[in-house]
A and B are shown apart, each in its own frame.
Chain A
């Protein structure tokens, strides 16, 4: 199993450009999450999904959109990139939402907006 994969690893965007961060998992997990990690700030939840076709906002959703058309994929869309979106983005998945569930993280996408 590859686990959780993310592409690209690195990206530089200009202000106002848009892009999609890809996330895929091969563990047949229903739950998927997008986090951003800013230095000294820990991880903040952007969006999450409890299954194909079902998504909801997390703590910091502004400026982002998501979709979940399949169990495997959970892309994150940035429209009109801003310097405040410079961050490291992590995708994660879990088998359930129960207290014993473990979230498995991808390697991250490092995004810089100039």
Chain B
């Protein structure tokens, strides 16, 4: 079975500073990796996903993530955050070839951007 660990439950940062949200996964088979964002009082929406190919994945709102197979990590980064990036971020993994779209989610990281 797959598991996902998000290493920080909360990350406070000042506006225009860089940020990294860390995600490690464990799986005995190949996986697909996702980052979702949840703005206050809203559902989750997809930020980016890694399926194959280039290990650096770019997503919406200036976010990017790097897949590192040897370290089983998929950290999310943004070089300069805005107040509007305040949200909860979820890393998720899906077993390669699995049907029915079953996702395993991490515990979430609350990003708070201060002015």
Contact = CB atoms under 8 A, between A and B. Distances in A.
A108 B107 contact: no
A97 B101 contact: yes
Which size class do B's interface residues fall under?
20 to 34
B23 to A, nearest CB: 11
Main secondary structure of the interface of B (DSSP, over half): loop
A53 interface: no
B9 A40 contact: yes
B101 A33 contact: yes
Contact of A40 (B44, B49, B100, B107): B107
Interface string B28-43: 0000100010000111
A48 B45 CA distance: 19
Interface in B10-69: 32, 36, 41-46, 49, 51
A113 interface: no
18 contacts: A40-B107, A42-B107, A43-B103, A48-B100, A48-B102, A58-B102, A90-B44, A92-B44, A97-B98, A97-B99, A99-B96, A101-B101, A103-B44, A103-B46, A103-B101, A105-B36, A105-B45, A106-B43
Interface of A: 4, 31, 33, 40-45, 48, 50, 56, 58, 90, 92, 94, 96-97, 99-108
